[in-house]
């Protein structure tokens, strides 16, 4: 592996481990049982330190080693994990993140003096700060020479382990006085399996640590290695017995004894080397996983996002080419060619679905990011808040997940800052002292709905309406519903006076939140009851790249409607009034696309109506003809149409012509505004 690729892998892995570490610390802070949680946090720190050592990132190694030592004390019960220590460890995780980010920018993770205050606090917990230099020197003089013999199993690489990381970690316990690699364990090149590990080491370690601490260095690989530790006072016979148990290690044992000026027993040199050599692992026999996490890791590979994006682009072009082939086959009226193109179209659809699945990621990682923010802001404001998360397994396009993070951050911060009352206020209102914020994700009619809820003070309808009238955003004579009043906080320029404490901040920046969500072809709505709480719902498409659409024609123009929002198609409706029709006794607002886009040409004698629905709103789109279902490869609009309110993009049809993709949420909103003015 190229060194740059290795560093990229380290940065990616360290980022995931730091998220796991932070999540574990926050759960421990909420009083959840230590058990596996503290072990998971320790493993994350241990892995980061060991891998950083492979790339000589000494600043990260030294700092993370101190964090790891604290966590080790918590694991064995010698140190109490209180709120103060959790806050310190969270700050340390932030500093490690900053060092890893520096590595990602091409640095060495050395942030100068920024980590010194944290390191001093860690040393005080470890009892190192008060240790005079002469005591430290005396401690080193008491170090003893231990002998460590380790033979790593063949499956170590397959389990994601790196033997060098364990040797690097061992060096943190003291001085590696001598290290000998066991060459005899390597099979002939013809028999070697590139995925198998054949490494063995004999090590002389000078340290003040005891045997338990030395063995703990190999804790995460204990099932995949053979380990023997001989104490400093081991007799010559002990080394002979070790060589008899590990015949291929005899030469390396003698080499280490010579390097540390110790006597090599003659019997050791007489130990016959075994002629057996490790055999390559059978490729069909996969190792039995010890847990589901390891099995999942073995089935997972990292793919560069740019390569994946290029694949999606090619799939889009393949869809267009397949549609063009289908048109040609229909024109030629060849039965065999038609059957072949139908099979091709079916396979292309499967390829499309599989390719899009590669871009789908779980939204849980984004949700978990808010645990830390809620913890910190609640601590700063003296509030008691718990964050409940559900729907973590819901999958969304990677691009959407990345771009929705900022709007969600604003919504969660608003809930923490301004939605929830202080503990004293809540108790005075008869509520539990601890407020609750809930993040939930769910599938709904081909879209994803993300809900941000709190059980706080809610939105004050009268105060919002009063401010909106003062700003000219609403008329005093208008009879607005609760939903329409709540939606006023998304209007540009809407804010509240500083004395309105139960609403302060709810409108600041909310217009930007709505713009960002609508740019993703999504929508946002609010449900709130004053004194009980607020729920903000964000509705998003599953993907932005390729969508199933209903193709319609108006005059000489073609339009694509996202199929997930199409309820039904009907041929002609009874007109009740201009812009209104009857559908099975129900009044249905209608939009005549010919009039909306000012298209020329006479309307057909019999028009069709496409009934669309989004976020509780329903309308009928009057079109000339229905052309069938297509897979629309989304293309950006040209600068000429970039400001169009009701068009979200374009797509190329099989015949080469361009169809505009309608922005149905914007279209329904525009229609509603027209009929409520």
pLDDT one-digit tens code per residue, 589-614:
888 899 888 888 788 888 889 999 87
Mean pLDDT for 240-266 is: 89
Cα 12 to Cα 394: distance, rounded to the nearest angstrom: 22
569 three-state secondary structure: strand
Cα 204 to Cα 207: distance, rounded to the nearest angstrom: 10
Q: What is the DSSP letter of 289?
A: P
291 pLDDT higher than 60: no
Q: If you search the block for the tokens 């601490």, which residue do you land on?
A: 213
Cα 164 to Cα 166: distance, rounded to the nearest angstrom: 5
- Residue among 264, 207, 256 nearest 232 (CA): 207
Mean pLDDT for 214-227 is: 83
**Range name among 177-191, 357-371, 662-676 with the lowest pLDDT average:** 662-676
- Residue among 403, 650, 604 nearest 517 (CA): 403
Q: Beta strands of 309-397 (E only): which ranges?
A: 360-362, 385-390, 395-397
**Range name among 148-162, 287-301, 547-561, 641-655 with the lowest pLDDT average:** 287-301
CA 671 and chain centroid, separation: 37
Identify which has the larger pLDDT, 657 or 90.
90
What percentage of the chain reaches a pLDDT higher than 90? 19
Burial-class residue 256 by CB neighbours within 10 Å (0-12, 13-18, 19+): buried
Per the DSSP assignment, residues forming a β-bridge with 620 are: 590, 611
Mean pLDDT for 102-110 is: 86
- C-alpha angle 613-630-622 in degrees, rounded to nearest 5: 45
Q: How many helices (H) and strands (E) does the chain have?
A: 22, 22
- C-alpha angle 539-585-606 in degrees, rounded to nearest 5: 85
66-75 burial by CB neighbour count: b if 16+ within 10 A, else e?
A: bbbbbbbbbb
> Cβ distance 547 to 454 under 8 Å?
no
Q: If you search the block for the tokens 């058990």, which residue do you land on?
A: 35
Model confidence at 576, pLDDT cuts 50, 70, 90, reads low
615-631 burial by CB neighbour count: b if 16+ within 10 A, else e?
A: bebebbbbbbebbeebb
Rounding to the nearest 10 degrees, give the CA dihedral for residues 413, 416, 417, 418: 110
Cα 673 to Cα 236: distance, rounded to the nearest angstrom: 92
Q: pLDDT digit string (tens) for 512-522?
A: 888 888 778 78
Q: Phi/psi of residue 259, each to 5°?
A: -65, -25
Cα 341 to Cα 326: distance, rounded to the nearest angstrom: 6
Identify which has the larger pLDDT, 288 or 142.
142
**Range name among 79-93, 373-387, 412-426, 569-583 with the lowest pLDDT average:** 569-583
> Which pLDDT score is estimated for 542?
76
294 pLDDT higher than 70: no
Cα 620 to Cα 664: distance, rounded to the nearest angstrom: 11
Neighbouring CB atoms inside 10 A of 419's CB total 28
Q: State the pairing for strand pair 435-444/385-390.
A: parallel
Q: pLDDT digit string (tens) for 27-70?
A: 888 877 777 888 889 888 988 887 787 677 888 888 898 898 88
229 three-state secondary structure: strand
How does DSSP assign 577-607, residue by residue? Answer: ETTEEEETTEEEEEEEHHHHTT--SPPPSS-
**Range name among 132-141, 554-563, 664-673 with the lowest pLDDT average:** 132-141
Across the chain, mean pLDDT equals: 81
Whether the model clears a pTM of 0.85, i.e. scores above it, the answer is: no
């Amino acid at each position: 592996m190229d060194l740059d690729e290795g560093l990229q892998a380290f940065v990616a892995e360290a980022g995931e481990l730091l998220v796991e570490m932070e999540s574990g610390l926050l759960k421990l802070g909420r009083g959840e049982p230590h058990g596996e949680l503290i072990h998971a946090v320790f493993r994350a720190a241990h892995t980061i330190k060991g891998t950083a050592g492979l790339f000589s990132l000494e600043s990260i190694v030294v700092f993370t080693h101190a964090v790891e030592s604290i966590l080790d004390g918590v694991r064995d019960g010698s140190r109490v994990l209180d709120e103060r220590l959790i806050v310190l460890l969270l700050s340390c995780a932030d500093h490690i993140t900053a060092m890893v980010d520096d590595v990602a920018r091409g640095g060495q993770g050395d942030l100068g003096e920024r980590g010194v205050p944290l390191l001093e606090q860690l040393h005080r917990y470890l009892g190192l700060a008060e240790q005079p230099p002469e005591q430290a020197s005396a401690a080193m003089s008491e170090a003893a020479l231990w002998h460590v013999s380790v033979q790593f199993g063949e499956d170590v690489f397959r389990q994601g382990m790196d033997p060098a990381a364990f040797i690097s970690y061992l060096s943190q316990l003291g001085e590696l006085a001598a290290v000998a690699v066991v060459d005899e364990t390597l099979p002939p090149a013809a028999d070697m399996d590139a995925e198998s590990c054949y490494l063995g080491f004999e090590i002389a370690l000078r340290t003040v640590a005891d045997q338990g601490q030395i063995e703990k260095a190999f804790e995460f690989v204990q099932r995949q290695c053979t380990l023997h530790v001989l104490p400093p006072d081991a007799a010559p016979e002990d080394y002979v017995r070790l060589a008899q148990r590990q015949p291929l290690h005899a030469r390396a044992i003698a080499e280490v004894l010579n390097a540390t000026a110790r006597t090599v027993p003659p019997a050791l040199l007489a130990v016959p080397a075994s002629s057996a050599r490790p055999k390559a692992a059978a490729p069909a026999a996969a190792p039995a996983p010890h847990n589901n996490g390891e099995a999942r890791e073995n089935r997972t590979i990292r793919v560069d996002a740019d390569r994946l994006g290029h694949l999606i682009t090619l799939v889009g072009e393949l869809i267009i080419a397949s549609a063009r082939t289908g048109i040609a086959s229909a024109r030629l009226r060849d039965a065999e060619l038609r059957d072949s193109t139908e099979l091709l179209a079916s396979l292309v659809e499967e390829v499309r679905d599989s390719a899009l699945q590669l871009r789908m990621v779980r939204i849980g990682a984004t949700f978990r990011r808010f645990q830390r923010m809620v913890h910190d802001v609640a601590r700063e404001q003296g509030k008691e808040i718990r964050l409940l998360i559900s729907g973590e397994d819901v999958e969304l396009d990677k691009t959407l997940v990345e771009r929705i993070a900022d709007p969600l951050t604003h919504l969660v911060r608003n809930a923490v800052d301004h939605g929830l009352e202080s503990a004293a206020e809540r108790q005075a209102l008869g509520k539990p002292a601890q407020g609750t914020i809930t993040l939930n994700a769910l599938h709904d009619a081909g879209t994803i709905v993300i809900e941000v809820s709190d059980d706080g003070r809610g939105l004050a309808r009268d105060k919002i309406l009063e401010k909106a009238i003062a700003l000219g955003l609403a008329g005093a004579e208008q009879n607005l519903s609760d939903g329409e009043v709540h939606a006023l906080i998304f209007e540009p320029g809407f804010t509240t006076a500083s004395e309105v404490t139960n609403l302060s901040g709810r409108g600041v920046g909310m217009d930007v939140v709505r713009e960002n969500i609508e740019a993703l072809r999504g929508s946002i709505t609010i449900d709130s009851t004053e004194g009980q709480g607020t729920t903000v719902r964000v509705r998003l498409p599953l993907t932005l790249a390729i969508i199933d659409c209903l193709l319609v024609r108006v005059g000489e123009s073609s339009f694509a409607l996202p199929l997930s929002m199409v309820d039904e198609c009907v041929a002609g409706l009874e007109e009740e009034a201009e812009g209104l029709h009857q559908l099975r006794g129900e009044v249905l607002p209608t939009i005549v696309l010919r009039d909306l886009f000012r298209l020329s040409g006479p309307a057909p004698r019999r028009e069709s109506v496409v009934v669309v629905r989004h976020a509780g709103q329903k309308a009928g789109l009057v079109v000339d003809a229905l052309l069938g279902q297509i897979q629309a490869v989304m293309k950006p609009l040209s600068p000429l149409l970039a400001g169009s309110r009701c068009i979200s993009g374009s797509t190329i049809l099989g015949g080469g012509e361009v169809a505009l993709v309608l922005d149905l949420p914007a279209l329904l909103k525009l229609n509603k505004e027209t009929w409520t003015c």
